[in-house]
Amino acid sequence: MAKSSGFLTKLKSSLLGKSEKAEESGAGKFAPKKEEPLDVKFVQTFTEGGGNFMYCTNLQEAVHALEQYAADHQWNGVYISSPAIADWSNHTKLDTTFENDGQFPTVLSTCEALIAFNGGIMIHSHHTGGRKLGDLPKHHVLIAHTSQIVPNLRDGLTAINQKYRENRPSNIAVIRAPNDQAVELASADPNKGRTVFLILIEDEA
């Protein structure tokens, strides 16, 4: 996806557009529907399902968002499961560990793709230290960039196949927000009882 210029403006415009559509009448309701940008569509679906979302323009803002989440929920530290963000331990004031030893109630990880059509977040073993989703702490903070938003699951799987030709990951899963209908209706789902926080960082030009 191209760089998400003016993302917050687009999101606000989209939300305002919903109320305006309700006032449309006559021939207007038969006009072709305008497709939402992928980033706006993802955020709307994710937050409607109960996901927590923060948009940041750089690493400094992202670290501040993590620390604010921690303060709001009284977390004393986080377990960092993704090697790609190991250096966050040098940026944050929070205590951190690289061992899933139950010391902290929260896991911090990267992800593979953000799925626009259902608001899901695709992760796998390279992000979770080789562990299954159900083995991770119930509070999950995910770090992603705007370029990772894709239309559907197939595009997410394609990205995995292209990126990891020599070291294909295992335990591919899709994290869904706790109030997502599919999660609520499932008799057993590793997403049940999971609190999901997404820190979405704008890609650099």
Q: What does pLDDT average to in each consecutive run of 10 residues of the chain (205 residues)?
A: 46 48 51 74 92 93 96 95 96 96 95 94 95 92 95 93 89 87 73 89 78
24, two tokens = 């449309």
- Measured over the CA atoms of residue 145, residue 94, residue 131 and residue 87, the dihedral's sign is positive
C-beta atoms surrounding 4 within 10 Å:
21
- Measured over the CA atoms of residue 174, residue 178, residue 184 and residue 190, the dihedral's sign is positive
Amino acid at 200: L
For residue 182, the surrounding DSSP H or E stretch is helix 181-185
User: What is the domain partition of the chain in residue ranges?
Assistant: 7-201
Question: How large is the C-alpha radius of gyration of the chain?
Answer: 18
For residue 2, what pLDDT is reported? Answer: 37
202 DSSP 8-state letter: P
Query: What pTM did the predictor assign?
Result: 0.82
For residue 37, what pLDDT is reported? Answer: 87
Under 8 Å between Cβ of 67 and 88: no
Task: Write down the CATH number for the domain with range 7-201.
Answer: 3.40.50.10420
Closest CA to 177 of 164, 189, 163: 189
List beta partners, residue 113: 122
Cα–Cα distance measured from residue 98 to residue 105, given in angstroms and rounded to the nearest whole number: 13
Under 8 Å between Cβ of 51 and 119: yes
Contacts of 118 (CB under 8 A, 6+ apart): 45, 153, 174, 176, 180, 182
64, two tokens = 């501040």
For residue 41, the surrounding DSSP H or E stretch is helix 38-48
